Structure 1
Amino acid sequence: MGGCRIERLLGAGAFATVWLGFDPRLRDWVAIKVLAENWANDLRIRERFSLEARLLRRVDSPRLVRVHTVGELADGRPYIVMEWAAGGSLRDLLEAGDIPADTAWGILRQVAAAVADLHTNGIVHRDLTPGNVLLCPPRPGDTTPATTGEHTPPEPPAVPTADAQAWSGGRIVVADLGLAKAMAAASGLTARAGTPGYMAPEQDDPSSTVDERADVYGMGRLGLRLFGAAGPPPGVAAVLARATAPAPAARYRDADAFARALADTATCRAGPDRRPRRNRRTAVAALVLAAGATAGAVAVDAWRDRPDPVATDASGRISVRLPPGWRAEGAGWAGRPAAGGGLAPAMVISPDPAHWVTDPEVPGAFIGLSDGREAATDAADFLAGHTHPRCRADPVRAVRRADVEWTIVRYAACPTGKPVIVEAAALLAGGATLGYVQVTPPDAASATFVDDLLAGITLRAR
């Protein structure tokens, strides 16, 4: 096949099979990807298959699997000859057990660097999964394997695929650009494609535009999987929370921005807070507030004779009476710029603000203000764009609290993440500012908890 001697089958998927071969001209082992026979006559799939090779050749990055050549079999099926990643896939490593935090952090940084190379060249991957992250382990001595003859390959190097130490020292590459798309080809990507659990929400919406931020979401999901049940260190958790925000505008703009944010967490890699936590639910909630309130000071008016202190954000436009035992953090709505520069006002309140996004057991609320663009629609329209499809939605209701008319939707019986999520939005006087609150109530909260919380919120229009 392509002048290569075939050793064995490496894997098979819906669209292609991959074989291990030896190329006597390169004197090296290679992986040969062949389009599946049942797709051979589908021109759309053939073009996508060929595009993968062209994109990989165009970028030509050591962080991406290298393409040596392409060709067609006698039956007309196209194939791609590429470098063989002898260390296996990240999926293999994850299936073997937990990964040390430092190794997980290093792997994620290398993945981010690889995806940044794609984004620099105007390419979106769209399918970043553990199976598409591969290890090319370092070879001792000469990188050219010795052979006893031009057509007699050496034994394939034996590298344990479940060795975290090998992953710490090897070259990690991103593969399988079968769903990738050059951004120059269209103003947006609208095809529904990707792997559930890793693909961004907009990839499942034919009317949405898919860009670099879809890959940021995929890297965030990869990161959560890498750090496993123990969870990432707090600084990394904040980065992953923003990366996996449901709204693209709330995420990092591309892989380079994500990589830089991840690099800034280098000082907090010692590990996450190891306090005992209940484990009734382990998945991270798909919350809009994964967009997050950026770190910053929040003034708290905590007089001793006042049972419920009041927190005010840095802008002075948001004040909230805190439930007992709750505190406030945040100085801006990450990913949402303010009209005059900086970030739109926002804060997170919770008994444990640092872990609210990542721990489904921690109650809390996100409170934000958006000027201008959001106010072009009413509160109900805004909430229609902030749904939780896997949860059961209660009927929309309205309530007036503190001279603000709130529109509220409660989502319950969520299969993963927070069991109950309440979305609330309101247009402030004048209609130029929209207030948004997302609440995850405590388990034993009263039926009036959300309404009482809204009654204690004071929002100021511009």
Structure 2
Amino acid sequence: MGGCRIERLLGAGAFATVWLGFDPALRDWVAIKVLAENWANDLRIRERFSLEARLLRQVDSPRLIRVHTVGELADGRPYIVMEWATGGSLRDLLEAGDVHTDTALRILCQVAAAVADLHSRGIVHRDLTPGNVLLCLPRPGDTTAATTGGPAPPDPPAVPAADAEAWSGGRIVVADLGLAKAMAAASGLTARAGTPGYMAPEQDDPSSTVDERADVYGLGRLGLRLFGSAGPSAGVAAVLTRATAPAPADRYRDADAFARALAEAVTSGDRPERRRRRRGRHRRVALALVLAAVTAAGVVAVDLWRDRPVGVATDASGRISVRLPPGWRAEGAGWAGRPASRGGLAPAMVISPDPGHWVTDPEVPGAFIGLSDTREAATDPAGFLAGHTHPRCRADPVRTARRADLEWTIARYAGCPAGKPVIVEAAALLTGGATLAYVQVTPPDGASVTFVDDLLDSMALRAG
């Protein structure tokens, strides 16, 4: 394939498959992306596939996955030969557990720098997800090329397991520009495209214009996912809140502005006593905790520390964490009436401006968040919600949404004559299918239509 020796399949998606191959001309292992057979005759998909390679070559940034060459197979399907990101994806790292705050900040700043490179060329990515953020690690040893009649190519290096330490020092790149567009080609983008949970609201509206601010929203979502239960400092949390504002006009104008705000939030939160301590430490370990926040104007070096999480609540079991809306706090140590699999009560908590009166006062907004490991609960989220009836309320159609990497079933009830005027219930099965998450929300008056989805997106839930 393109003169490369094919080793094995790396992955397959809806539009393409990716193979590991050895390129004798480059003397290195490469990733070869091939358009799927069922899309080979769709001219729109072929153009999107080819555009990805052209845009990557056009920007030619070390923060983007490198394209070596392009071509067509004998059956006419196009392919792209790219560098192989041996360190895996950010999705792999997040699935392995929580990420240290310092590492999370470094990753987010590096991704913002990559997106700023795109924006500086008038390109919007439109699909910033953990699966599209990759880590390129240096591969020790000589990768001598295989030539006709010559020595065999070296064995492919082993793919390392998700390693947070590697992410603190490897080259982080952004990939998969299959949905990207050159903004100069039109006054705006109107086609629906993106990944639920990370794409901006306007990407789901055919009448809206999509520009660089959609990527700012994606960066904010990545940040929320990266910090998870650890939570960022108050300054960084404010940056992420603005980045994920529902209205594009309320966000940063582009990735460069986002990166600058992020760097400023970190430095402005520096305390004098910690500055003094770090001066001595920097003499011993130069740049040990330095984050390179790269923007279009240059490189800003930012000293990091680990602050106590601000605006994030975690229950006593450590299995439930959620970013608190402004003015809200958390209470509670268990799910009343629902035993845990190992004794005691199942983990749960209430978050509200006034948790003590959330249940009894219909005017107090808030949310209940609980996890159940019992066999009868961990069955079907839709069936679980069906058992929670509100017969005197008007029921909206049940919907599903992917938030924080979970598939949620969501039911909304309004016009209730007594009690809470609006009740939203959501349920999802955690990874492995043995733990059910249940959330009941009473949104505050005047809340955004995305309030519940935003709350679900801010949660970090762990199976027992």
TM-score bracket, normalised by the shorter chain, equals 0.5 to 0.7
Equivalent residue for 2:309?
Answer: 273
The letter of the residue matching 1:48 is R
Give the letter aligned to residue 443 of structure 2.
I
Q: In structure 2, what is the equivalent of residue 250 of structure 1?
A: 250
Match of 1:145 in 2: 143
- 2:424 counterpart residue number: 413
- Taking the aligned partners of 1:109 and 1:89, their CA distance within structure 2 comes to 16
What amino acid is aligned across from residue 271 of structure 1 in structure 2?
D
CA displacement, residues 253-281 of structure 1 (integer Å, 9 cap, x when unaligned): 11001111111233454133378644897
Is the 2:313–2:322 Cα contact (8 Å) retained in structure 1?
no
The change in CA–CA distance for 1:271 and 1:58 in structure 2 (over 3 A counts) is same
The CA deviation string for residues 52-106 of structure 1, in whole angstroms up to 9 with x for no partner, is 0010010000000011111000000000011111111111111111211111110
User: How far is the alpha carbon of 1:248 from its aligned partner?
Assistant: 1.1
C-alpha contact (below 8 Å) 2:198/2:218 kept by paired residues? yes
Q: Superposition pairs for residues 145-164 of structure 1, below 5 Å?
A: 145-147=143-145, 149=147, 152-164=152-164
Distance 2:87 2:59 in 1: 23
AA matched with 2:306: A
Aligned match of 1:109: 109
2:37 alignment counterpart: 37
Instruction: Return the letter of the residue paired with 1:133.
Output: V
- Give the C-alpha shift of residue 395 in structure 1: 5.8
CA contact (8 A) 1:126 1:194 kept: yes
Alignment check: 8 A CA contact 1:281 1:360 kept: no
Maintained 8 Å contact 1:93/1:163: yes
Residues 335-369 of structure 1, C-alpha deviations (whole Å, 9 max, x = no match): xxxxxxxxxxxxx7x367xxxxxx9824399xxxx
The equivalent of 1:132 in structure 2 is 132
State the secondary structure of the residue aligned to 2:168: helix
Residue-by-residue CA offset, 1:2-46 (whole Å, 9 max, x unaligned): 011111100000000000111100101111000000000000000
Distance 1:52 1:194 in 2: 15
Residue 155 of structure 1, CA deviation: 1.9
Alignment match, 2:46: 46
1:219–1:29 CA distance, 2 compared to 1 (3 A): same
Structure 1 segment 38-437 matched on structure 2, within 5 A: 38-140=38-140, 145-147=143-145, 149=147, 152-267=152-267, 268=269, 269-273=305-309, 277-278=314-315, 282=321, 350=327, 361-363=351-353, 392=412, 394=414, 411-413=422-424, 415=426, 419-424=441-446
Separation of aligned partners in 2, 1:186 and 1:201: 20
Give the aligned residue type for 2:196. Answer: P
Contact 1:391–1:411, Cα closer than 8 Å, also in 2: no
1:110 is paired with a residue whose SS is: helix
Question: Would the alpha carbon gap of residues 202 and 148 (structure 1) be closer, same or farther in structure 2, given more than 3 Å must change?
Answer: closer
Contact 1:24 1:151 in 2 (8 A): no
- Match of 1:10, SS state, is strand
- 1:414 deviates by 5.5
Cα distance, 1:151 vs. partner?
Answer: 6.7
Match in the other structure for 2:296: none
> Helix, strand or coil: the match of 1:264?
helix
SS for the counterpart of 2:32 is strand
**TM-score calculated relative to the size of structure 1:** 0.64
Could you say what the CA RMSD is over the residues aligned between the two structures, in angstroms? 3.3
Aligned residues of 1:67 and 1:83 also touching (Cα < 8 A): yes
Q: Tell me the amino acid that sits aligned with residue 146 of structure 1.
A: T
Distance in 2, matches of 1:439 and 1:32, equals: 41
Residue deviations 1:293-325 (CA, integer Å, cap 9, x gap): xxxxxxxxxxxxxxxxxxxxxxxxxxxxxxxxx
Q: 1:162: Cα distance to partner?
A: 0.8
Query: For residues 207 and 158 of structure 1, do their structure 2 counterparts lie closer, same or farther at Cα, with a shift above 3 Å needed?
Result: same
Alpha-carbon spacing, 1:191–1:410, altered in 2? closer, same or farther (3 Å) = farther
Q: What's the TM-score, normalizing by structure 2?
A: 0.64
Counterparts of 1:41 and 1:179 in 2: how far apart (Å)?
Answer: 18
The answer as to whether partners of 1:423 and 1:439 remain within 8 angstroms in 2 is: no
Structure 1 residues 151 and 410, CA, compared in 2 at 3 Å: closer, same or farther? farther
In structure 1, the gaps of 5 or more residues are 288-347, 353-358, 366-388, 397-408, 426-435, 441-462
Q: Which amino acid aligns with 1:84?
A: W
CA shift in 2, pair 1:235/1:12, >3 Å = same
- What is the DSSP-based 3-state SS (H/G/I as helix, E as strand, rest coil) of the residue aligned with 1:415? strand
Distance 1:24 1:224 in 2: 42
Aligned residues: 327
Partners of 1:93 and 1:229 lie apart in 2 by 15
Residue by residue over 1:383-429, the C-alpha shift from the partner in whole angstroms, topping out at 9 and shown as x without a partner, is xxxxxx96737469xxxxxxxxxxxx97531639882224449xxxx
1:240–1:413: structure 2 CA closer, same or farther, 3 Å change rule?
same
Q: Distance in 2 between matches of 1:80 and 1:231?
A: 38
Alignment check: 8 A CA contact 1:414 1:420 kept: no
State the one-letter code of the partner of 1:363. Answer: P
Q: Secondary structure at the match of 2:160?
A: coil
Query: Structure 1 residues 360, 122: CA separation in 2 closer, same or farther (over 3 Å shift)?
Result: farther
> What's the secondary structure of 1:413's corresponding residue?
strand
Unpaired runs of at least 5, structure 2: 270-304, 330-348, 355-363, 365-400, 402-409, 428-438, 453-464
Q: Give the structure 2 partner of residue 452 of structure 1.
A: none
